[in-house]
Amino acid sequence: MWNDTDRNNQTLKSLQSILSHGRLANTGYVSILPVDQGIEHTAEASFAPNPLYFDQENIVKPAIEGGCNAVASTFGVLASVARKYAHRIPFIVKINHNEPLSYPNSYDKIMFGSVKEA
């Protein structure tokens, strides 16, 4: 599927890592746990019923235990747990976010990191 592509080798390696990881490895299907609500909707609104999930490790652990192909979350969350978990599950980093705190809302995406940093 990627034979005739202009994607660089690191990108292809990352895609292969996702496709060949977890309980759906090498099936052509992926199961990705996306958790980015802490910025877009405030952590309190998202995690107040389950305060254990304020801990960034508890965002990555269920993805590993569930056999997901990857975990997708914010730049800060994944950066804070990368040394401990990046070798255990592929990360998909969300580097931009809506910023809902200002009035009126402008819906401009704010970059919290660069592709190179990710």
Average of per-residue pLDDT across 42-52: 62
Q: Look at residue 11 and tell me if it is in a domain.
A: no
Least confident of 54-58, 84-88, 102-106: 102-106
Q: What is the pLDDT of residue 82?
A: 92
The total number of structural domains that make up the chain: 1
Across the range 37-54, mean pLDDT stands at: 61
Specify if 13 maps to a domain: no
60 assigned to some structural domain = yes
Residue 31 within any structural domain of the chain: yes
Q: What is the mean pLDDT of residues 38-50?
A: 59
Residue ranges making up the domain that contains 44: 27-111
DSSP secondary structure of the chain: --SS----HHHHHHHHHHHTSSTTTTTT---EEEE-HHHHTTHHHHHTTSGGGGSTHHHHHHHHHTT-SEEEEEHHHHHHHHHHHTTTS-EEEE-EE---SSSS---PPEESS-TTT-
State pTM to two decimals.
0.76
- Convert the pLDDT of each residue in 97-118 to its tens digit: 666 666 676 666 677 778 787 7
